[in-house]
């Protein structure tokens, strides 16, 4: 799912594309696009077009149980935007993505594909600007948990 998201953003940005074109891209990533839009993922069908939703357009309640990197990233951006730092640190700790360099590289790759005025780009850039502080907070949490154990 994450690979599809990155490739879609890289090729099409925020644009809607014809279903057939989206289906070809999804198949190259091993995804059944019809199954994904029906389960409330970031893929949305609008008549004969497909659109990929950014974090600002998604109902993030639907991502609560997901362990997909892109869903964790979208929830992280939502929590970061709302200033819910403790919940953000908890999410990144529990998912394991907070210490994953790949997580931040994917966020950076998505940011680089978006136009400057994009809200998603602004969220990603702000989140990425504070990643060292986030990593420090995660280290503190791990140390505290070590003491408690």
Q: Are residues 84 and 105 in the same domain?
A: yes
Q: Are residues 107 and 137 in the same domain?
A: yes
Q: Are residues 83 and 28 in the same domain?
A: no
How many structural domains does the chain have?
Answer: 2
Residues 112, 131, 70, CA angle at the centre, nearest 5°?
Answer: 55
pLDDT at 148: 52
Q: Which domain holds residue 23?
A: 2-53
Instruction: Compute the residue count for the chain.
Output: 149
Q: Quick count: other Cβ atoms within 10 Å of Cβ 70?
A: 22
Question: In what helix (H) or strand (E) does residue 52 lie, and over which residues does it extend?
Answer: strand 49-52
pLDDT tens over the chain, length 149 residues: 999 999 999 999 989 999 999 999 999 999 999 888 877 689 999 999 999 999 998 877 777 888 899 999 999 999 999 999 999 999 999 999 988 899 999 999 999 999 999 999 999 999 999 999 988 888 887 777 665 54
Task: Give the domain-ending residue among 14, 31, 53.
Answer: 53
* Rounded Cα–Cα distance for residues 77 and 83 (Å): 10
* Rounded Cα–Cα distance for residues 20 and 34 (Å): 11
Q: Are residues 101 and 140 in the same domain?
A: yes
pLDDT at 97: 93
Q: Are residues 85 and 28 in the same domain?
A: no
Q: Are residues 76 and 129 in the same domain?
A: yes
Q: Are residues 137 and 83 in the same domain?
A: yes
Q: Are residues 140 and 71 in the same domain?
A: yes
pLDDT at 120: 95
Q: Are residues 88 and 139 in the same domain?
A: yes
CA distances from 3 to 26, 60, 68 (A): 9, 19, 10
Residue entry with tokens 């091993």: 30
Q: Are residues 85 and 132 in the same domain?
A: yes
């Amino acid at each position: 799912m994450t690979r599809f998201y990155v490739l879609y953003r890289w090729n099409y940005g925020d644009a809607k594309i014809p279903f057939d074109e989206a289906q070809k891209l999804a198949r190259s990533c091993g995804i059944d696009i019809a199954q994904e839009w029906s389960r409330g993922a970031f893929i949305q069908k609008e008549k004969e077009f497909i659109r990929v939703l950014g974090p600002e357009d998604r109902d993030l309640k639907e991502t609560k149980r997901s362990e997909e990197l892109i869903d964790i990233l979208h929830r992280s951006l939502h929590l970061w935007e709302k200033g819910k730092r403790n919940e953000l640190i908890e999410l990144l700790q529990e998912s394991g993505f907070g210490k994953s360099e790949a997580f931040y590289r994917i966020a950076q790759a998505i940011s680089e594909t978006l136009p400057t005025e994009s809200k998603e780009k602004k969220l990603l850039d702000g989140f990425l600007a504070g990643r060292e502080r986030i990593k420090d907070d995660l280290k503190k949490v791990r140390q505290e948990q070590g003491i408690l154990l």
